[in-house]
């Protein structure tokens, strides 16, 4: 059974409910589908030492990689307290974009809740690559 965009966004929304955003009060959830059809989710996890905070997108990706996945076919991100009139505040940050680039399928689309689908090439047109 193919997971549709609405269902993937719902997984991201549900993941945002698990966020630990004690400092920013800005919960974020992410969900992705791997090439083999598995679903992984993540939420942002903050820390009093802000540099140790990790974004929802990277939690989902690292969970997938730890489970043996190497390609992301589709991804959804949800920021329920985000300002939909400011779409730039709802998309993955630069660090997440670079991590996504490492594992993205060629035609990866990121579904941004309240914004719509965005091709990963639009989010990061020239990622750093070693190979």
| Catalytic site positions | 57
| DSSP assigned state of 105 | E
**What is the distance between the alpha carbons of residues 80 and 117, in angstroms, rounded to a whole number?**
17
Question: How far, rounded to the nearest angstrom, does the alpha carbon of residue 20 sit from its chain's CA centroid?
Answer: 16
Residue 98 belongs to what H/E stretch? Answer: helix 94-103
**What is the distance between the alpha carbons of residues 105 and 5, in angstroms, rounded to a whole number?**
17
Residue 104 belongs to what H/E stretch? Answer: strand 104-112
Q: Which residue has the tokens 């993540």?
A: 42
Beta partners for 111?
Answer: 76, 117
Q: Which residue has the tokens 């060629």?
A: 106
């Amino acid at each position: 059974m193919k997971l549709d965009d609405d269902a993937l966004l719902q997984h991201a929304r549900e993941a945002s409910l698990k966020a630990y955003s004690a400092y920013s009060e800005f919960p974020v959830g992410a969900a992705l589908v791997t090439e083999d059809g598995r679903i992984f989710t993540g939420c942002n996890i903050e820390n009093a030492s802000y540099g140790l905070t990790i974004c929802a997108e990277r939690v989902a990706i690292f969970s997938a990689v730890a489970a043996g996945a190497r390609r992301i076919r589709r991804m959804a991100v949800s920021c329920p307290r985000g300002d939909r009139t400011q779409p730039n505040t709802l998309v993955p940050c630069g660090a997440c974009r670079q991590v996504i680039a490492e594992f993205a399928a060629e035609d990866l689309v990121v579904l941004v809740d309240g914004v719509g689908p965005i091709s990963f090439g639009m989010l990061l047109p020239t990622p750093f690559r070693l190979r």
